[in-house]
């Protein structure tokens, strides 16, 4: 019997979730959103029969639901995931996992208690480049990754002013928590080592300058709050001796938007990189997936060729959730990893606020 799933949140990501769930053979039986108009519009767009404005009512009305997919502002990830898990549903939750590590740990504990899958949409792990690179890493071609540089740097990429993205109480922060994908991907390649210390700085330049707005995001809210960073840079050490540096921004004056993980292993270095145009237009993107070795006394560059994937794994990651529930694939991420990632994000904000290194 096919998995029955409901979408919570009618935002832009619902298009990828619905495509992926259906490709995996799941049935999308309901959509819930506090905004009735948005819920009805998206339900019609995606061909979903049942519409709710109250998640509790949906869970009561549809006991046959196996899973929910949470696509709402970050503040509501933990409460909605806890509500769905308590009702015995598997949960696929958009990134970031929660506002902080404490919330993520509560979600992990709830999933363990009811023995249900809790997975997060770290869609960059589901890109063809990441699957290919992980195969090389798993087969031992890279050795131990000593160091890694994780980057998601945007030039004019503020996702709206005064809406939930720029309101720390609703989002948990700016690009550091929003664009945490590459920090996650770097950790994934490194084997998710246990963090030891972090030193980070955040910067607020351009965060209220409307000419730094991205071509996507949500509408501006005239009297809304903008109290998040525009960029963050940091350095993380791990108990294993490994180290990672990161750079994330919504507004920094770089030539192109860069989404990348570069690493240096004991046997090979490597890079997974997407370069967007400065304003993030997909059809000019340049993708790279390469390994760097030293063979017969000379440097060698190996180009790993994979099919292009404009959605950056967003469809494939939804497919993985369904297959993981159904026992057909290993889950691409675990609640433990989500908690560890959120400890790094929490530590980065604490280090930036205190100006001091933070033990994790
Ligand atoms: N993986 C990715 O590439 C990616 C990209 C964009 C956004 N996201 C994530 O998706 C989530 C949603 O972002 P968005 O851009 O779609 O936001 P959005 O504001 O466009 O849409 C969110 C929807 O959630 C609804 N909503 C808010 N609170 C709710 C609640 N308590 N219960 C039910 N519905 C509620 C809103 O009415 C709105 O329709 C965020 O966590 C964001 O980080 C992920």
SS (H, E, C) 258-283: EEEEEEEECCCEEEEEEECCCCCCHH
Residue bearing tokens 């495509």:
19
Atom of ligand 1 nearest to the CA of 14: 16
Cα(16) to centroid(ligand 1), Å: 13
Beta-ladder partners of 258: 153, 275
Cα(14) to centroid(ligand 1), Å: 9
Q: What are the structure tokens assigned to 11, written together?
A: 């935002």
Atom of ligand 1 nearest to the CA of 13: 16
Cβ neighbours of 298 (radius 10 Å)? 7
Q: Which tens digit of pLDDT belongs to each residue from 248-283? A: 999 999 988 999 999 999 999 999 999 997 666 677
**pLDDT at position 278, please?**
67
Q: Which tens digit of pLDDT belongs to each residue from 185-237? A: 999 999 999 999 999 999 999 999 999 998 877 889 999 999 999 999 999 99
Q: Whose CA is nearest to atom 5 of ligand 1?
A: 13
Atom of ligand 1 nearest to the CA of 76: 31
Q: Which tens digit of pLDDT belongs to each residue from 91-103? A: 999 999 999 999 9
- Residues 280/296, Cβ–Cβ less than 8 Å: no
Q: Which residues line ligand 1 (CB under 6 A)?
A: 8-13, 32-35, 38, 55, 71-74, 76, 94-95, 121, 123, 178, 218, 314
How much of the chain is in helix, strand and coil states, percent to nearest 5? 35, 25, 40
Q: Tell me the H-state helices in 145-222.
A: 168-171, 175-178, 181-190
Atom of ligand 1 nearest to the CA of 53: 33
DSSP structural state of residue 205: T
Mutation pick for ligand 1 pocket among 12, 57, 73, 120 (CB with most ligand atoms within 8 Å):
73
Distance from C-alpha of 220 to C-alpha of 249, rounded to nearest angstrom: 19
> Whole-structure pTM over 0.95, yes or no?
yes
DSSP structural state of residue 124: G
DSSP structural state of residue 126: G
DSSP structural state of residue 192: -
């Amino acid at each position: 019997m096919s998995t029955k799933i409901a979408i919570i949140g009618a935002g832009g990501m619902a298009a990828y979730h619905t495509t992926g769930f259906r490709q995996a053979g799941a049935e999308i039986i309901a959509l819930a959103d506090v905004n009735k108009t948005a819920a009805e519009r998206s339900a019609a767009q995606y061909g979903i029969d049942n519409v709710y404005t109250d998640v509790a009512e949906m869970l009561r009305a549809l006991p046959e639901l196996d899973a929910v997919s949470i696509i709402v502002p970050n503040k509501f990830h933990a409460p909605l995931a806890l509500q769905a898990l308590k009702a015995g549903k598997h949960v696929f939750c958009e990134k970031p996992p929660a506002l902080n590590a404490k919330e993520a740990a509560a979600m992990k504990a709830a999933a363990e208690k009811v023995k249900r899958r809790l997975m997060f949409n770290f869609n960059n792990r589901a890109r063809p480049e990441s699957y290919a690179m992980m195969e090389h890493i798993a087969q031992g071609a890279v050795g131990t990754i000593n160091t890694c540089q994780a980057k998601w740097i945007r030039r004019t990429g503020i996702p709206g002013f005064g809406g939930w993205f720029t309101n720390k109480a609703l989002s948990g922060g700016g690009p550091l928590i929003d664009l945490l994908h590459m920090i996650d991907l770097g950790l994934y390649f490194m084997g998710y080592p246990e963090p030891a210390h972090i030193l980070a700085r955040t910067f607020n330049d351009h965060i209220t300058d409307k000419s730094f707005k991205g071509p996507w995001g949500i509408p501006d809210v005239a009297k809304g709050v903008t109290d998040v960073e525009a960029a963050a840079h940091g350095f993380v050490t791990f108990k294993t001796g490994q180290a990672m540096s990161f750079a994330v921004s919504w507004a920094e004056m770089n030539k192109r938007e860069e989404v990348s993980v570069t690493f240096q292993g004991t046997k090979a270095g490597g890079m997974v990189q997407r370069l967007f145009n400065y304003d993030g237009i997909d059809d000019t993107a340049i993708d790279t997936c390469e390994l760097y070795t030293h063979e017969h006394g000379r440097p060698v560059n190996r180009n790993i060729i994979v099919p292009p994937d404009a959605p950056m794994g967003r469809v494939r990651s939804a497919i993985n959730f369904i297959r993981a529930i159904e026992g057909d694939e290993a889950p691409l991420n675990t609640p433990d990893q989500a908690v560890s990632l959120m400890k790094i994000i929490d530590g980065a904000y604490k280090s930036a606020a205190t100006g001091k290194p933070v033990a994790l």
